Amino acid sequence: QCLYQFLAFVPPSNGSLSVPGTASVMVDTQHPLTLQLNSSLGDTELCKIHYHFGEFGNYSLVVKTLNTSTKTVSCDLVINEGPINSYLPLLFAVLVYMGVLAVFIAGRLLMKIDPVRNWVYKKLNLRETDRLINTELGSPNTTDSVNCDSTPRVWSTASRQRLHSLDTFRGLSLIIMVFVNYGGGKYWFFKHESWNGLTVADLVFPWFVFIMGTSISLSLSSMMRWGSSKQKVLRKILWRSFVLILLGVIVVNPNYCLGPLSWDNLRIPGVLQRLGFTYLVVAALELLFARAESGTWEASYPALQDILPHWPQWIFILMLEATWLCLTFLLPVPGCPRGYLGPGGIGDFGNYPNCTGGAAGYIDRLLLGEKHMYQHPSSNVIYQTTMPYDPEGILGTINSIVMAFLGVQVPLFFSSCIDYINFSNFLFQGIISAILTKCSKEEGFIPINKNLWSISYVTTTSCFAFILLLLIYYLVDVKKLWSGAPFFYPGMNSILVYIGHEVFANYFPFKWKMQDSQSHAEHLTQNLTATTLWVIISYLLYRRRIFLKI
């Protein structure tokens, strides 16, 4: 539903068939395009072609007049040079990493030989590293996690060991986020969707929020287990939230080479800011309703054992979601239809050019001011929007709180055997997603939209997150078929890796001048190199037992 945009003017041939009028243009290859040829006299439509052009292909649209009296023309698309296979560099990269994986597997098999394993442990002192890490707060006991116990989670005094699956999941999300932020090899599926839809890039931030919710539950359990008072824990929650928000403001406003930063253009929202505020709300909510002992309701209704212990929190979350729905669909926005969820710009046939994000964009512009928001949203790539819009804005933070709270529910599953885990919540979320989206990208009641952080986006990504976390948990902590490497290492130092990759994004060796800026191979090499370097850095920090904690 985009307005046609002027592409080129083809000059007349002046009656000379040997020298036709020509015009050269470049077009987008991510989506199929519709080319419409209009007459310069009367601007009437002559022909229309719908085609999905290939990357770096060379095409000619040959237009011939068939009948001058009726002004009928023929339009034929000719392929002068076929498009390249832009996925070959990606395939090569996969093969390289598969080779590296094969080497590591061979090394793991060697580690099963007692003399080799003893020599490596002696040289690297790995047992001492694991001992120090496992004494940190924030994870349940691996042994407890595989016991078939349907008793709801309570604050216990048992000593517990760290679950590697949580750090592995966090590290996987973080590494994909780093790769995406560095450019993702300039592949469209490693970029955020312009508006509705879902790509790989759109999965990682909600996954990070999800696992943060899981960590909140476990860290609070640990602190309460060690006898910390609620007042002390609340002070720590407030301090962590403040530091995250402060770091976020600093990271999203880099000005290393441009002189002093003007307060007039300071961007207020951001990734770490949203994480900080989400952490504050969810952690405070869990702390407020933390129980020292379990009740009897859960024993009477085992199917609801993951909801009944948290009924006050669920009520609060449902009230928050009702607030999001009311503001999104009922708040009057000047010049825009009520409940508008579109991108504005040339979308929706250009009827609402200044309505980007509907109520979400309006609230941010009203409370934050246009100069304190993100100035280059992904919607301007296709929809040519001119209004600033912040994907980490105020209204979307409500649904990030919901996402983190869904992550809080995961530790309840760690007390049950894999075969008896209650999937009802996440199955229900999947059903909600199907209903809200009508299983389509654009036609649903509430489409999946990362910019808006729509509720369908939350329910969909939380389903994916739970399934992936369950798989990693089974492989890493239950069957111990995988150590979690290499994602485990950045997962142990997530804040340091995230801030570091943002601060040093434009510095060598994470970035360098390329010979061909249009080459997928060069972009992919640079982005994978930078991402791999952060994995290596996190591994070296792990070896030296250096962990940035807030």
Q: What is the pLDDT of residues 5-63, one digit of tens each?
A: 899 998 877 666 667 888 999 998 888 999 999 888 777 888 899 999 999 999 999 88
In a domain? residue 18: yes
- Exactly one of 164, 192, 372, 520 is catalytic; name it: 192
Same domain, 173 and 76: no
Q: Which residue has the higher pLDDT, 339 or 121?
A: 339
Same domain, 67 and 182: no
DSSP-assigned letter for residue 375 = S
In a domain? residue 107: no
Three-state SS sequence of 288-341:
HCCCCCCCCHHHHCHHHCCCHHHHHHHHHHHHHHHHHHHHHHHCCCCCCCCCCC
Same domain, 309 and 423: yes
CA 207 – CA 197 distance, rounded (Å): 16
In a domain? residue 199: yes
Q: Which of 204, 172, 207, 206 is nearest to 191 (CA)?
A: 204
pLDDT in tens, 427-466: 888 899 999 999 999 999 999 999 999 999 999 999 999 8
CA 478 – CA 469 distance, rounded (Å): 12
pLDDT, position 122: 74
Assess contact for 498 and 173: CB atoms under 8 A.
no
Same domain, 66 and 170: no
Assess contact for 429 and 406: CB atoms under 8 A.
yes
Residues spanned by the domain of 42: 1-84
Same domain, 169 and 20: no
Cα dihedral 74→75→81→87 (10° resolution): -150
Residue 137 has pLDDT above 80, yes or no: no
In a domain? residue 131: no
The percentage of the chain sitting over the pLDDT mark of 70, rounded to a whole number, equals 84
Q: Which of 453, 433, 487, 406 is nearest to 210 (CA)?
A: 406
pLDDT in tens, 467-482: 899 899 989 988 888 8
pLDDT, position 303: 52
Handedness of CA 427, 433, 438, 440 (dihedral sign): negative
The number of distinct structural domains making up the chain is 2
Question: DSSP string spanning 421-439?
Answer: ---HHHHHHHHHHHHHHTT
Same domain, 237 and 332: yes
Assess contact for 87 and 117: CB atoms under 8 A.
no
Cβ atoms within 10 Å, residue 164: 27
Q: Which of 65-79, 268-282, 392-406, 500-514 has the lowest mean pLDDT?
A: 65-79
CA 490 – CA 473 distance, rounded (Å): 17
Two structure tokens written together for 508:
């060598």
In a domain? residue 111: no
Handedness of CA 413, 419, 423, 427 (dihedral sign): positive
In a domain? residue 517: yes
CA 63 – CA 60 distance, rounded (Å): 9
In a domain? residue 508: yes
Two structure tokens written together for 284:
């405070």
* pLDDT tier, 183 (very low <50, low <70, confident <90, very high otherwise): very high
Domain boundary among 36, 64, 84: 84
Domain boundary among 44, 62, 84: 84
* pLDDT tier, 121 (very low <50, low <70, confident <90, very high otherwise): confident
Residue 192 annotated to the active site? yes
Residue 136 has pLDDT above 60, yes or no: no
**In sequence order, which residues have a C-beta less than 8 Å from that of residue 235 and are 6 or more positions away?**
none
CA 476 – CA 478 distance, rounded (Å): 6
CA 126 – CA 122 distance, rounded (Å): 8
pLDDT, position 125: 66
* pLDDT tier, 128 (very low <50, low <70, confident <90, very high otherwise): low
pLDDT in tens, 347-400: 999 999 999 999 999 999 999 999 999 988 999 989 999 999 999 999 999 999
CA 396 – CA 401 distance, rounded (Å): 9
Same domain, 169 and 80: no
Domain boundary among 25, 55, 84: 84
CA 290 – CA 293 distance, rounded (Å): 9
pLDDT, position 293: 47
pLDDT, position 298: 52
Residue 483 has pLDDT above 80, yes or no: yes
Mean pLDDT (whole number) for 187-192: 92
In a domain? residue 434: yes
